[in-house]
Amino acid sequence: MGAVKEPRALQIFNTVGSSVNENPTPRRFTATAPLTGRLRVPGDKSISHRSVMLGAMAVGETRVTGLLEGEDVMATAAAMRAMGAHVEKTGAEWRIHGVGVGGLLQPDSALEMGNSGTSTRLLIGLIASHAITANFTGDASLSKRPMGRVIDPLSAMGATFTTSPGGTLPLMMTGAEPAVPISYQLPVASAQVKSAIMLAGLNTLGITTVIEPVPTRDHSERMLRGFGAQVDVGEEAGERVIRVHGQAELTPQRIEVPGDPSSAAFFMVAASLIEGSDLLIENVGLNPTRAGLVEVLREMGANIEETNAREVGGEPVADLRVRHAELRGIDVDPAVAPSMIDEFPVLFVAAALANGRTVTRGLDELRVKESDRLSAMATALTAAGARVEETADGLIIDGSGGEPLRGTIGAPVITHLDHRIAMSMAIAGLVTKEGVEIDDTRPIATSFPAFEALLDEAMT
């Protein structure tokens, strides 16, 4: 696997973070009332990560409002501080004083990534073209996730890696000096892998090229251009080709982070399913590479209206009014998967209550997220009374026709320390007779600390 070496002296790594395994906080979610009023979800996680990273690579002060303050983004902020950037909050604004491209410093200790796969893969890319060595550690869930898909191309650029068995964290990497530009065709669509290579290309002399079989979320391309990097995007032979010109000089920016569509997804599904709901979700980012769930829900019959459409920092944004509607099962086009890959767990909940059969395919990526989300959701929904068949690359769900599911009785749903499984099954609990108990709500804080409070508020 590229320049991966045999694991050696893994005791040099600090212990894998495992605080989330201690003292779990279970909760039973039950139906109470329709979702009404208005709410605003936290800032987009993908854009928040990139705001901090690119702000740290610019010379001067970048100011960010609406930054998601979940544990994942805070892990990114802590890592950038460890490598020389100043990242601090002043009032409602985050201020980032960068070190410039090529200016990252050797961290004094391991970079603790918690549960954040995005932090890990993007930072590995960013550091890969710097002459520093970094140790990456994470919690028990993150430490099961394979890193080979970023290690392979970054090894070709000259970085070297020592991993745990199976290519997982704890992981030590030494960046290349100098890094070599590459042209890399992604074997599977992955915005994280694409972004890791692009970030490595920032400090690499020459042009680094990434070829996508299908388009993935394009926040990195948009934001790199906004910071002043030269990024060329085109299509060749039916594939999307991105070229990053290295030795870039990034200029500081003012960024307003739109609401995260992945967080809004839970409320869109809940309001669609619960009779009497009429909910306005404000300031939702609707980047075309991220908005697949809105279109899929509409295809299922959802009543979702966009109002106050506008552009914020180069990203399309709107308020979404969602009202209860009877949903129908559909055959979900696999081509839509990259634009809603994180939203499939809660889409499965919608399918479990729809009229007829919903078929999903091409979701292999869900097996290597914070958990195997296909298996985890199939097990959890079945325990709640849904009719689910798991296939190699998707789920087939026969909906209840709008009738509440039974809910869970006895043992709680196992969320596998996965925040999206926890939130999806919390929404499922709202459309059951007995409710759904999940084993631990604390992983939710990795991406959506206010989830429970907003959900409770919308139902009062």
Active-site residue identified among 319, 342, 418, 440? 342
Q: Residue 234 and residue 389: Cα distance in Å, rounded?
A: 39
**Token output for 203:** 């400090």
CATH number of 45-244: 3.65.10.10
Q: Residue 381 and residue 373: Cα distance in Å, rounded?
A: 12
Residue 15, burial from CB neighbour count under 10 angstroms (0-12, 13-18, 19+): exposed
Q: Which residue is it, tokens 């030494």?
A: 174
Rg of the chain taking only CA atoms, in angstroms:
21
List of E strands, 331-424? 357-359, 387-391, 394-398
**Res 184: pLDDT:** 98
Q: Residue 184 and residue 432: Cα distance in Å, rounded?
A: 47
**Residue stretches of the annotated binding site for phosphoenolpyruvate:** 45, 117, 145, 192, 373, 420
**Res 132: pLDDT:** 96
Listed as ranges, residues in the chain with pLDDT below 50 are 1-21
**Res 22: pLDDT:** 66
**Res 315: pLDDT:** 87
Amino acid type, 18: S
Chain region(s) in the chain for CATH 3.65.10.10: 25-42+258-458, 45-244
Residues paired with 413 in a beta bridge = 438
The three-point CA angle 437-390-118 to 5° equals 70
**Res 152: pLDDT:** 97
Question: What pTM value is reported for the model?
Answer: 0.85
The three-point CA angle 98-102-108 to 5° equals 75
Distance of CA 405 to the CA centre of its chain: 28
232 given a catalytic annotation: no
DSSP single-letter state for residue 58: S
**Token output for 42:** 């936290």
What phi-psi label fits residue 74: left (phi over 0), alpha (psi between -120 and 50 degrees) or beta? alpha
User: What is the tens place of the pLDDT at every residue in 149-181?
Assistant: 999 999 999 999 999 999 999 999 999 989 999
Q: What architecture is the 25-42+258-458 domain classified under in CATH?
A: Alpha-beta prism (3.65)
User: What is the tens place of the pLDDT at every residue in 106-136?
Assistant: 999 999 999 999 999 999 999 999 999 999 9
**Residue stretches of the annotated binding site for 3-phosphoshikimate:** 45-46, 50, 190, 192, 342, 369
**Res 273: pLDDT:** 98
**Res 312: pLDDT:** 80
